Each structure stands twice: as structure tokens, then as C-alpha cells.
Structure 1
């Protein structure tokens, strides 16, 4: 069924949305709800647009697609994942861990964690929230970074890197453990960056049999 600005899929008329920023904000609000309910994979552009009461084409118009909308609505990341990966892997591979940590902390600090605290709080009781975070952070960012590096054990490395980001985020924005909660970004980067670097490119200390059997 074709949708219009004043008749979303499902046929329920909500009235024409004002153009411009109101449409964009309506999509962000709707996306937070739909991603929370359905997870990243289950959420569709059509469903989000219907919830917002706008045409599905507005998602591409304002955000360029579902990935970028998720980044803005749920993770509060003001960048496209594919562009982000390209930016992060440029430069010295030995400082990649610092760049990853710095980028996420800088963005999250600017919004006091954005929607990240709510997403983290829902992990224990809402399976779809965990799937949402996994699908986006691991599948769309960390797996892509590690694929560029051609490192061994890519899935294990992506999971370990995600644990570092989520752990720092939880302590800094949810539990607010001091002094980490109020530490400046460069202090966190200097102390946590080396661990992130090891997860991405370093020796994981695995038994040789595991190393030989599972290089990819």
C-alpha cells in the first residue's frame, strides 16, 4: 500500500505533518519506539514512517536509510555507520583503539549518553534491546572495522570490543561510577584505549590450537 504524508500504511489517517524539522523529529521519536519494540532487524522503514505518520520516503530523505536513522534515534550517533568505519580505519592502525574510544565518548558526552542509558537499562529485561544493540554496534560498525583489518578471530574481537564500549558506557552514563563518570575524554581514552586496541589487533592470548583452528 502506498503511503502519503497524511495516510500511513495501515490506513489510519493522522493528518498532514508539517514539513521540515517537525517531520524529522517525528521520525526520530517513532524510530525510538519501533526499534525498542522490534529490534534493529525487525524494525522496518515502513513501520517507522507509519508510526510517525509520514511517507516512508521521508526516512531516506532525512537520514539516508535505516542504519543512519538508528544511529541518530537510538545510539545518538550523528554519523552514518559506513562513513564512520571509513574514517576510523584511516590513519595508524596502532592507534585505532584510541580513535574508536574517543569517537564514541565524544558523541555520547555531548548528549549525556543520549538514548544509550535507556537502551542499557533495558538489556536485562528486554531481549529485543540486546538484539538491537548487538545488531547495530557489532554487525554494522565493529565487524566492518575488523573486516578491514583482516585480523584473526574477527567475531571474538568484535564481541570483545563491544564489551569495552558498552562497559565504559554503562559505568560512565548509567551507574555513574566515579571517578570514571566525570573523567575527561582523554583520560578515559588513555586508560581504556590500549585494551580496545588489543581487542582489535593484538594478541588475544588464545591457546595455539584455537588460534590455528579459528583464524577467521
Structure 2
């Protein structure tokens, strides 16, 4: 190198953890990450899902996933909220009054699970909760805050929260037996058959004064 030659440039290195590709604030980035998270959770379950796998599916840096959602537990909760969105209308079903509320609730709940579009992400959530305590805790907290407490608020009866939990347990039990374990003859029973047996029990939980 002569006296007048400039020194060679030193290659710049990207700071560790700096997001690549999509950036925070880009239109649709958060939704793309959430869609990727739902897909990966559905395919691998909670235990085998990693932030890195979600980032790879969404084609973003892992740091960007942390930026929007924090830890895996938080992004799982966000995925639950999207997956359970159809079920959040349960309090509206109760608000229509006590007459035949058991039948209305059973039909509404089954309609959500009968639809293949809404059933697939819900099954992924339930399977993760069955096999992982952290996932189960996130699901319990979400169902309590977003569904059961609202249902209890519509019941002008003693032990409203317990009644709401019993009604939820009845329907979740049906879901596990019918869609997850696929136990016969429940798995092949018609919606009308299931409603006929389940609705009176839910009605009693939510309306019986004694």
C-alpha cells in the first residue's frame, strides 16, 4: 500500500439479533407471523414448536417474532385467540334468554367443531394442551377470561362460575371423545343425536335453581 492509497475497507457485520427481511411496522408482518405460528403449532404441537421454526415459516428474523409476541407462551396465546374466535360468541347465545339455552349452546358449540375450517386449528390447540402443562395453563387462562367469566356474568343464579365450568366441561368432553379420540359411536353420531342427549344437561347446569 502506497502513502496515498486509502486503507482497505473492513467488511461490515450485521448486529446479532437484528431483524432481516420484513421489518417491525411493515404492513401485514404481525399477521403473517401469527399465521405461521398457527400453522407450526398445528403441525408440530406446542412442545416441538420453536420461535426459530415460526420465524422460518413466516420468512422473518426470530428477533421480529420476539418483538411482536415475546416468548413462545405469548405467541401460543395469540394463536389461541384467533383459533377460538368463533367460540367467543357463546355469551351472546346466553344473552338471548334462558329458554332452550342448553339446545342453543350445544348447537352453537357443535357448529364450530363441525366446520373443517374452524375445527383444524382448534384441534391443534386442544392436542397441545393435553400434552403440555404450559400450553394447558395458557388455554385454561384464556377460556376462563374470555368465555367462562362472561358466561357466568349472564347467569343470575348461585354458583354461576361453577355452573359455567360444568357446562364447558360437558361440551369439551364431547369434543375430546368425538374429534380427538374418535370414540365410537359418538364419533359417528349425528349432530341432532348429540344435541338431544347433551342439551338437557347443559340446560340444567345453566338454569336450574336447585
Q: TM-score range by the shorter chain?
A: 0.5 to 0.7
- Match of 2:80? 70
Q: Give the C-alpha shift of residue 145 in structure 1.
A: 1.4
1:90 aligns with 2:95: yes
Measure, in 2, the Cα distance between the counterparts of 1:150 and 1:143: 13
User: Which 5+ residue runs of structure 1 have no aligned equivalent?
Assistant: 1-9, 38-48, 58-65, 205-216
| 123 and 67 in structure 1: CA distance in 2 versus 1, 3 angstrom threshold | closer
Q: How does 1:18-97 map to 2 (within 5 A)?
A: 19=27, 24-30=31-37, 33=41, 36=46, 53=64, 56=68, 70-73=80-83, 75=84, 77-78=85-86, 81=88, 84-97=89-102
Measure, in 1, the Cα distance between the counterparts of 2:137 and 2:149: 15
TM-score, scaled relative to structure 1: 0.62
TM-score, scaled relative to structure 2: 0.63
Q: Give the C-alpha shift of residue 51 in structure 1.
A: 5.8
| 51 and 94 in structure 1: CA distance in 2 versus 1, 3 angstrom threshold | farther
Q: Give the C-alpha shift of residue 183 in structure 1.
A: 2.3
Q: How does 1:41-190 map to 2 (within 5 A)?
A: 53=64, 56=68, 70-73=80-83, 75=84, 77-78=85-86, 81=88, 84-111=89-116, 113-190=119-196
User: Which 5+ residue runs of structure 2 have no aligned equivalent?
Assistant: 1-15, 48-59, 70-75
Deviations 1:60-112 (A, max 9, x none): xxxxxx98853323x4x436x3xx14521232313222222211211111127
Number of residue pairs the alignment of both structures matches: 169
Would the aligned equivalents of 2:80 and 2:139 in 1 still touch at CA under 8 Å? no
Q: Give the C-alpha shift of residue 28 in structure 1.
A: 2.9
